[in-house]
């Protein structure tokens, strides 16, 4: 077990080694957060603010030492659950829902790819 108490909070030393997939995942996350924040400003419905906040939290967590490959799977479940919510209740924002869906599918694919890639690397 590694002692994370003495490790720096932010993974600044790793940022330079992140490839395009990491940045694509972050872009998708920020896009989803932005869309939900925008819909919240239009409707005032607090669940859109909560969704935006959850993705901002995830992006922030990604830059810390507390990130682990298992969190990708939490993100996958989160994206799928929110996709169902958008499909069932997002008809009022069809275009935003479609763009949100594109970001979500992108994030889903990237998260699964990175989970398996990092999981394999951790086993070696």
Per-position pLDDT tens, the chain of length 124: 455 567 789 998 888 999 999 999 999 999 999 999 999 999 999 999 999 999 999 999 999 999 999 999 999 999 999 988 888 876 778 889 889 999 999 999 999 999 999 888 877 6
Structure tokens at 16: 């330079």
Q: Distance between CA 40 and CA 62 in Å, rounded? A: 24
For residue 1, the model assigns a pLDDT of 45
Query: Which pLDDT score, from 0 to 100, does residue 122 have?
Result: 72
pLDDT at position 4 is 55
**C-alpha 72 chain-centroid distance:** 8
**Residues 54, 60, 63, 65, CA torsion sign:** negative
Provide the sign of the torsion angle of the four alpha carbons 60, 76, 27, 43, taken in this order: negative
């Amino acid at each position: 077990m590694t002692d994370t108490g003495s490790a720096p909070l932010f993974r600044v030393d790793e940022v330079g080694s992140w490839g395009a997939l990491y940045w694509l995942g972050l872009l998708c996350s920020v896009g989803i957060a932005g869309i939900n924040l925008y819909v919240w400003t239009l409707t005032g419905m607090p669940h859109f603010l909560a969704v935006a906040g959850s993705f901002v939290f995830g992006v922030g967590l990604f830059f810390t030492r507390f990130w682990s490959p298992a969190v990708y799977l939490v993100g996958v479940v989160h994206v799928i659950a929110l996709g169902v919510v958008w499909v069932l209740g997002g008809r009022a924002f069809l275009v935003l829902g479609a763009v949100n869906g594109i970001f979500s599918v992108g994030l889903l694919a990237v998260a699964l790819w990175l989970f398996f890639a990092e999981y394999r690397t951790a086993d070696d």
